[in-house]
Structures are given as C-alpha cells and as structure tokens.
Amino acid sequence: MDYTLENCQKLVDDWIHSVGVRYFSELTNTAILMEEVGELARIMARQYGDQSFKENEKDRELAEEMADILFVLLCLANQTGVELEEAFKKSLQKKTSRDKERHSQNPKLLENSGDGQ
C-alpha cells in the first residue's frame, strides 16, 4: 500500500470503525494530541537536550511518539473534514513563496549550515 496522507486518513478511519468503535470527540482528540506532543518533547529534551532519561523512560522511542502524533492528527483531520494531503501541499507552497529568500539570507542559519543531523 502507498502510505500517502490520503491513504493514511482512510486507514485510520477504517481502524476507528473496526477496532476503535468510534472517534473520541474533537476536543478529547485535541487534548490527546497535546499529550502526545508532550511525550515527544520529553524525549527530545532528554535525547538532544540537557536532561537525562529516568530509568523508566529509557525504552521510549522517538519514532513511536511521532507516529502517535500523526495518528491523532489524522483522526482530527477525518473528524473535521480536512484533506491533509491537499492542506500540506498548500502549506508547502505558501512557505516556499513567503520564505523564498528569507532563510537563505538569515545570518543565524548561515553560521551553521548543517542539516540538523
């Protein structure tokens, strides 16, 4: 299967109706999304920041937390009628147009031109 955002939205919808019974309310899913983002932030602070992992946190995975965020975001998109693939394309076009020269002229970015890896 091709995992486009459109297909992922369909997979999540199928899963919700076959396993999850029904969607949580939009407000509940928004709160869950914030929880998941917090879990990602916790890992980032420990893996890339100055904090250290507690013993019970060591087996948490960055990829798993990102996937959890994506799952809940796909739920919210389904619930609110947003086609994420189209929305993402529009967002990328907007950012490209708006920031066409902005980042290439930012001295802070030019100082360390690594790709973050």
The CATH number for 13's domain is 1.10.287.1080
Instruction: Evaluate if pTM is beyond 0.95.
Output: no
Neighbour-count burial of 40, counting CB atoms closer than 10 A to its CB (0-12 exposed, 13-18 middle, 19+ buried): middle
| CA atoms in the 13 A half-sphere facing the CB of 43 | 15
Q: What is the pLDDT of residue 42?
A: 93
Q: Is 99 exposed, middle or buried (0-12, 13-18, 19+ CB in 10 A)?
A: exposed
- Residue 100: pLDDT band with limits 50, 70, 90: confident
Which residue carries 């890339």 as its tokens?
48
Question: In this structure, is residue 110 part of a structural domain?
Answer: no
User: Which pLDDT score, from 0 to 100, does residue 113 have?
Assistant: 58
Does a structural domain hold residue 117?
no
> What range defines the domain where residue 29 resides?
5-88
State the pLDDT at residue 53: 84
User: What percent of the chain has pLDDT above 90?
Assistant: 73
Is 104 within the bounds of a domain?
no
User: Which residue's entry shows tokens 């020269």?
Assistant: 101
Task: Give residue 116's pLDDT band: very low, low, confident or very high (50, 70, 90).
Answer: low
Residue 99 lies in a domain: no
Q: Which residues contact 39 (CB under 8 A, 6 or more apart)?
A: 60, 65, 68
Q: What is the mean pLDDT of residues 28-51?
A: 95
The model's confidence at residue 112, banded by pLDDT at 50, 70 and 90, is low
Q: Structurally, how many domains does the chain consist of?
A: 1
